[in-house]
Amino acid sequence: MKTLIIYTSQTGFTKRYAEWLAERMSGDLLDLKNAQKKSADYFKDYDAICYGGWAMAGNIVKCKWFLEKAVNWKNKRLAMFCVGGSPNDNPDVEIFLQNALTDEQKKYIRVFYCQGGFNYEKVV
């Protein structure tokens, strides 16, 4: 399965998860900034595309780009992951995941939470 992992990361936690996923899936890895430079053709051959963004005030950073593209990628396996400072067992995480996608988007995208952390030195 040809897999692509796209991510946005401010302090490195989401990048690390994206690297682990790409390694595990023998997939390709792209920073969102580079993904945005690619033409539609670039994504055509991927069987699975996953987007990872960090949690900011209850939202997945820059997921709008992925969600807009995903409408045309329904023939692929699609997933999204969010990396936040909250522990995995924080009850807010479940609510967060429920609200991340519309009912329609839930039909073709799966969403996951991964615990990151806080790196205050790198937050600008």
Ligand X SMILES: Cc1cc2nc3c(=O)[nH]c(=O)nc-3n(C[C@H](O)[C@H](O)[C@H](O)COP(=O)(O)O)c2cc1C
Distance CA(23)–CA(84), nearest Å, equals 21
Residue number, 8 or 76, with CB nearest to ligand X: 8
Residue number, 40 or 123, with CB nearest to ligand X: 123
Contact 85, 55 (CB under 8 A): yes
Task: Name which of residues 30 to 49 contact ligand X (CB under 6 A).
Answer: none
For the stretch 38-48, what's the b/e string if a residue is b when 16 or more beta carbons lie within 10 angstroms of its beta carbon? eeeeebeebeb
Work out which of 14, 27, 67, 79 binds ligand X, going by CB under 6 A: 14
Task: Based on the shown chain and the rule CB under 6 A, indicate whether residue 118 belongs to the binding site for ligand X.
Answer: yes
Work out which of 33, 36, 42, 85 binds ligand X, going by CB under 6 A: 85
Q: What is the enclosing helix (H) or strand (E) of 55?
A: strand 48-56
Task: Based on the shown chain and the rule CB under 6 A, indicate whether residue 56 belongs to the binding site for ligand X.
Answer: yes
Task: Based on the shown chain and the rule CB under 6 A, indicate whether residue 87 belongs to the binding site for ligand X.
Answer: no
Task: Based on the shown chain and the rule CB under 6 A, indicate whether residue 95 belongs to the binding site for ligand X.
Answer: no
Distance CA(86)–CA(39), nearest Å, equals 35
Q: What angle do CA 109, 80, 31 make, to 5 degrees?
A: 135
Work out which of 37, 57, 103, 107 binds ligand X, going by CB under 6 A: 57
Which spans of this chain sit near ligand X (rule: CB under 6 A)? 9-15, 54-58, 83-86, 116-118, 123
